[in-house]
């Protein structure tokens, strides 16, 4: 097993998810006090499914595009989404 990749992936995703909309939504659902375990399993299942989709899409892209192109496009998309959110939130 590639422990370095596992730890790097875990830490990156963990830090990226802290305080984001997914965590805030989970906090809101759990605060209802009705069934925190159902909220946990629902949010964990959603994160697992989106991770599976990410892995499948990444694996598929890697077969048709060089990794350098995937990294460049991913970087531009990441920055583009960030800029979009900044502009959107400054107009509100």
Contact between residue 26 and residue 39 where contact means Cβ atoms under 8 Å apart: yes
Q: Residue 92 has what pLDDT?
A: 63
Q: The whole model's pTM is what? A: 0.71
CB atoms within 10 A of CB 48: 10
What confidence tens digit (pLDDT) does each residue in 54-66 have? 999 999 999 999 9
What confidence tens digit (pLDDT) does each residue in 71-85 have? 999 999 989 998 998
Q: What is the 3-state secondary structure (H, E, C) of 1-68?
A: CCHHHHHHHHHHHHHHHCCCHHHHHHHHHHHCCCCHHHHHHHHHHHHHHHHHHHHHHHHHHHHHCCHH
Specify the number of domains making up the chain: 1
What confidence tens digit (pLDDT) does each residue in 14-44 have? 888 888 888 889 999 999 888 999 999 999 9
Q: Residue 47 has what pLDDT?
A: 93
Domain range for residue 29? 3-91
């Amino acid at each position: 097993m590639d422990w370095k990749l596992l730890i790097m992936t875990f830490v990156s995703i963990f830090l990226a998810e802290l305080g984001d909309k997914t965590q805030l939504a989970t906090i809101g659902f759990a605060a209802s006090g009705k069934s925190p375990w159902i909220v946990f399993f629902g949010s964990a299942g959603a994160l697992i499914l989106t991770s599976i989709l990410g892995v499948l899409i990444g694996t598929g892209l890697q077969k048709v595009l060089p990794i350098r192109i995937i990294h460049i496009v991913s970087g531009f998309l990441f920055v583009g989404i960030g800029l979009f959110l900044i502009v959107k939130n400054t107009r509100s």
